[in-house]
Every structure is written in C-alpha cells, then in structure tokens.
Chains A and B, each alone.
Chain A
Amino acid sequence: MTATTAATPALPSGAPSRPRNVATLAVLILALGGMMAFAALIAAYRALAHYQSLPPKGVKLDNYLGVMTTFTLVLSAPLVEWAWSAVRRDERRQAIAALGLTIGMGIAFVDLDWYLVSRLGFGVATPYGTVFYAMVILAGINAGVGILFLLGALLRVLGGQASGSEPEPVRVVGWYWEFVVVAWVLVALTLYPIVK
C-alpha cells in the first residue's frame, strides 16, 4: 500500500534564520547566575556582621577610594548605553567612541580595584579579610571579563558586524557590563558603610 502525500504540510527547517535576542537572553540568564554567586558572598558578609561589628576594630577603610571606584564604574554605564544607541542609529563613529570610553573606564576601574586591594592594610588571615578579598577580587575578575567582551564588541563595530540592522552584539555586551556595574555597586554598598 503506497500513499503519496505531496501536500503534506511541512515547514522549512535545516538552518533557520537566527532568532532575535538569543545572546541577550543568554547574558541575562548567566548574569542571574553570577548574581547568585555575589549574593552568596554578600550573605556570607552579612552572616559575619551578625556575630561581630564590621569592619572590625583596627580596620580603616578608605571611603574616598571606595566611592571613586564606584563612581568610575557607574559612570561607564551610560557610556555603554550610548554605544548601543549609536549602533542602533548607525552612528558608527559615536559607537566606536562610546565603546572606547567604556573600555577606558573599565580599565580605570580594574586599576582602582587593584590599587584599593593593595592599600587595604589587612590580609585574608581574618574572616573579614577573607570575605572582603573574595568579593573585591571576584568583582575585578568580572570587570576584566566584561572588558574583553567590550573589546570584542568594539572589533565587531570596527569590522562592520554590528550596525543598525544587527545591533545585538553591542546590546549583549551592554547588558553584561550593566551586570558588572550592578554587582560592584552591591559589593561596595556591602563593604563600605558609607551610609553609616
């Protein structure tokens, strides 16, 4: 028995066009995972604060340095938004400038982060020191990864692979960079008792 179904309803498949926002969603999901790691460290700090006054006696944090480091990173957030906006409007030169500035601010942050660590005046030998270093170093590594992504986005803009019709590479990197900023702000608010 043979039945030929020339009219079988079928959809083209094989290699369909890439759906939109795939990488954006991926970055959001992985950033959520990253936030859980930072949340664990912040919770560890809070647990420590439950048993002792933090920062411990004898530890004097440089609030000015902490605030400047935070400002540096926070100021990079609108820059990366500017880059994405410029790419959407096909303003290539603006996008290159904005990404370049964001990378510069990111490098400045990593440098400040490193400087901050080098001037802390205490080591990891206390529970406070352990959790402090863990958070600050993890935030620095996170920013380093973000800078690599930003460089990749800059190269794609320079190579014409990110434009008004294909802005996702810059948006994805922008989202990751916003995650870097938010994670550091939470870390800084935890570690630097500015409000007090």
Chain B
Amino acid sequence: MTVTETRPGGAGVLDSSAPAAQPGGVRGAPDAGPRSVGTADHKRLGLVLLGTSTLLLILGIVMGELLQAQLAAPDTNVVGSRYGELLSLHATATAVLFLGPFWLGLATYILPLQIGTARLALPRLHAFATWLYVVGGVVFLASYLAGTPSHGGITLSQPWAAVQGLSRADRAATSLWIGGLFLVGLASVLASGDLIVTMLKLRAPGMTLARVPLFSWASFATSSVVVLATPVFLGGLTLLYLDQRYGGTFFSPSNKAGVAVWQHTIWLFGRPEAFVLLLPGLGAAGDIVSTHFRRPLVDLTTARAALIAFAGLSFAVWAAGPGRASAAVVLPTSTWLTALTAGPVAVSVLLWLASGRGGPLAGAVLLLALGAGAAIIAPAARVRAGTAWSTGQLHVVLFGAPTLLALGAVHHWAPKLFGRRLSTALGVLQLLLVLGGFAVVGVAEYVLGYRHMPWHVDSYARHSLRALHGLAAAGGGMVLLGMLLFALSSLAAAWRRSDAPGDPYQGMTLEWATTSPPPPANFDALPEIRSAQPLADLRAAQAGPAGGAA
C-alpha cells in the first residue's frame, strides 16, 4: 500500500517502502568524521559518542585479554609489573569510558527523534560536552603513557596511595588521570543536563510525558541520576587533585574524615553509576519489544514506573552501609537494598516476556538470570567477597547484560543511525559470541571464586586453576571477537549507501516517521500525536474509510 503524505517530498510516514534520505546517494550515516568537529547536529554528535566509546571498549577488552594471558599459568609473565595498571585501564575504559558514553550517544541520536523535535535544546552545549568527552578520554589514556597512574587501586579505594611517594612521571600520570576523569565526568553532566531539558521542553505538540517512548524515559532517568551523582565525584576529585598536586593531606590515612569522605564519594557516585549502566538498556528493550511485535507493552505505566524505581533505588543503595564502601562499586548484590534493585529489573523483564521475545533481549535476560542465580547461590556456597566470584558478577550483571542490550539497541535503530539495517546473520554471530563469551567468563570466574581465587592478583600458585583461567581467557576472546565484528559491521553500514526504508518495522513511535537516516531537520511533517503509538493511530485512521475504499 502506498500512502502519500500531506506535504509533497515529505517523509512517508506510513509508507514502509519510503525511500531513504538520499537514495543511491551519499553514504548512509550522517557524517561522523572530521566535518563533525563544528557541528551541533544531534545525529552527528551521537555518532561521535558511539564511535569513540566503542573504540575505547575494544581497547579495554584487549587490556582484559592481556590480563587473562598473564593468568594463563601460575608462572606466566606477560605484563610483568604493569598488571595493576592494565587492570585499572581495563576497568575504567570498559565501565566509565564505554557504557555510560555509549548510552549517552544513543540517547543523543534517538531521543530527539522519539519526542518529535528537530534538535537538542542546547546543541552547542551538547557539542562542547561531546568533544570534552573525547578530549577527556584522550587525556585519560595519555596518563597511562606518561607513567603509572593507578597506585590508588582499581577503584581508587586507597586515594592516599595515588598521591604519596610517587615518582615525577607517576605524579604527572596521576594528574592526567584525575584530569581525564574530571573532563569525562563534566562532559557527562553537561550532556545529561541537555537531554533532560530536551525531554522536558522540546517535545512535539501532543507528546505528553505519558506518551514518551520508554527509551527516552530511561535516558531521562539516567540523565537525572548522572546530574545528581557525578558532581559529588567531581568534588572528591578536586580534593584529590589538591592533595596530589599541591601537597594536601585530606586523604592521608591519619585523617579519618578523609577516608570516610572518599568512601562516601565513591559510594554515592559509583553505586548509581554502576546501576544506571543497565537503565537505558531496560528502556531500549521495551521499545524494541513493542516495535518488533507491533503492539505496545502490556502495561506501559508499570514499565515506566519500573525505570523510575530503578533510578531511585540506585541512589538508595548509598544508604546500604558505607562501612562496606571500601568495596564500593564492586559488589552489586552485597546488601538487601542493592538486592532490591532486582525488583524493577524483574518487572521490566516480565513485561518484555509478556509482550514478546527476541534474540539480544533473550541474551540479556539469560545473563541477568545467571547473575541473579549466582547471587542467590553465593551465600549458600559461602563465597567470600574479594574473590574472582565478584569479578564474574561484575562481568555478567554490570557489564555483560547492558552491553548485549546496547548491541541490540544499535541493531534495532541501525536504519536511523546508518541508513541501513545491519546484517542479521552477523548480528546472530555477534550475539552468540558476546553472550557466550560473557557466560563463559562469568561461569569460570564464579567457579574460581568458589575455589577462593582472590581477584585482582597477577599470579597464583595452584596449577589446578589453570583450566578455569584458560576458560575465562577464551570467553574474553569471544567477547572481543563479537565486539570487533559489531564495530566492523557498523562501520560498513555507515560507509555504504543508505537503502533502508523510513519505517522498516511498521514501528509505532516517532523515530519511524522520518527517512532513514533522518534529514537535517529530522521531520518534514509529524503525525498527530494522540497516544504513545502515534504511527499506529495514524495507520488505524487511514485503514478506516480510505483503506476500505481502496
């Protein structure tokens, strides 16, 4: 069925075979190359964030593989004395520099489309934040070239060690490390603030908050958490910088207040930060399910409430015992309050399952179930904190599941991002590699933890653990292969000519009411918005008398 829009040349709102923006024309994706430097177009900025964070992730996984190579056998020496340094780089690059900015990039691209606006509220501020993130990432990486910045531990749990008795090179490296993290944090706050304003002020007429799609809601909730939690960390980094650069003593071990302040700083920033890595994925999954099964989630209000509850609980876990804050971000299920966060996740998963089932979502659900199972088994098995079990839990729950959801989201929105759909066959392969890789890593590390293998150590004595370490390395390799495949297929799609129709899925939300990729102003015309599924409403209206006549 061909449907002509009201404005000639406009986006074919209902025409699933509507041509791409420039059929047979230029490359599919909005340019994310050098010409993006001066742009304030949310689409280009989103691609810059997505591309940079993916590069940093691949770097982080390579570091992880080097760490695993070090543990291949009890007497192996691959990275020598730089194990702690690489561990710090691996953890930060994957968790802080990849997932958060990756979701931010996707929200930067998709949120304006979902709420029916042509641009971000403060595009120049957002552009500034985007490049601040890129510069911050470069400064952060440069710190590892300048020296050893990781004397304070993987989560900087001993800040005094990061400032005291360092060589000149290590002091410079630590300054760069603090500066890089500060810039990345500041960039996150500025960009998140802009997303909040965009969501609140630039919605299309008729797009009430109750009609905003779930991914935008999740991005809004995530941005709110980032705006409230990250400045606390920036305040702590300021104190640390004064100690490190100007000889301050706030974090000296003799100052009990300093130790408590740092624990609370990490706790108040790190806990929400760790939890909100999953939050946008929950929203994206809701949209993916409802789009591909062509019906809204069974209870949209509950789905939204679950997202908000999850964001709120991510803050509440701060109250769950700062006495355990030395372990800070690394024990996701250590208290009853943190365990409560499983509630909204479970509600979201049940809503997806009630509405439909899908590959990447099923993968993420499997990983979450694996993590939940491990958390339940752990007390019975008397697994101690600070063992490889915690590393497994981190890899599976806090990193694996959100990463799978992120890949699923990019596959889902690829027509908008790149002007083409990504290859389904390669997508299945990526799913198998990444899901399988994380599962293998997780299971190997759970068993290692059960056998009292401590985490964050560069050697071990028992030869009997060798096979398990080999298994973890193989799992990491699978994840690396999957992510490389994802990056290459995304690059190929962005490079090739766009051929995706405007609405390849018969979607219901506004991002499908424009061409793929969207034109600079996003929409030529918008359908009237009378519910959370404006395109479905429009289809129903057109299938009425006119459809019958036809």
Contacts and interface: CB of A to CB of B under 8 A. Distances in A.
Please indicate whether A and B come from the same complex rather than being unrelated chains.
yes
Interface of A: 1-16, 19, 21-23, 25-26, 29-30, 32-41, 43-44, 47-48, 50-52, 123-127, 129-131, 133-134, 138
B235 A38 contact: yes
Nearest 5 CB-CB pairs, A to B? A40-B235, A130-B248, A37-B231, A130-B250, A9-B528
Given A9-B541, A10-B526, A37 B232 contact: yes
Contacts of A16: 117-118
A19 B3 CA distance: 32
Interface stretch (B34-42, B189-197, B463-471): B189-197
A148 to B, nearest CB: 14
Contact of B252 (A5, A13, A14, A127): A127
Nearest to B547: A3
B227 A32 contact: yes
A5 B546 contact: yes
Contact of B550 (A3, A130, A134): A3
26 contacts: A1-B550, A3-B3, A4-B3, A4-B546, A5-B3, A8-B13, A8-B538, A8-B542, A13-B521, A13-B524, A14-B522, A14-B524, A16-B117, A22-B121, A39-B235, A41-B238, A44-B235, A47-B261, A48-B261, A123-B246, A124-B242, A125-B248, A127-B252, A127-B255, A130-B242, A133-B246
Nearest to A131: B250
Given A2-B2, A130-B239, A125 B228 contact: no
B550 A2 contact: yes
A40 B255 contact: no
A68 B57 CA distance: 51
Contact of B257 (A8, A21, A41, A51): A51
Interface stretch (B91-99, B201-209, B325-333, B421-429): B201-209
A134 B523 contact: no
Contacts, number: 193
Given A33-B227, A37-B235, A44-B235, A21 B527 contact: no
Nearest to B243: A130
B356 interface: no
Interface of B: 1-7, 13-14, 116-119, 121-122, 125, 189-190, 193-194, 196-197, 200-202, 204-206, 227-232, 234-236, 238-239, 242-243, 246-250, 252, 255-258, 260-261, 264-265, 268, 521-529, 538, 541-542, 546-547, 549-550
Nearest to B239: A134
A37 B234 contact: yes
B522 A13 contact: yes
Nearest to A12: B525
Contacts of B529: 11
Contact of B193 (A29, A38, A127, A134): A29
A6 B13 CA distance: 13
A10 B10 CA distance: 11
A13 B302 CA distance: 31
Contacts of B524: 13-14
A124 B248 contact: yes
Contact of B201 (A3, A12, A19, A30): A19
Contacts of A11: 204-206, 525-529
A47 B260 contact: yes
Contacts of A44: 235-236, 239, 250, 257, 261
B199 to A, nearest CB: 11
Of B257, B258, B529, B550, most A-chain CB atoms within 10 Å: B257
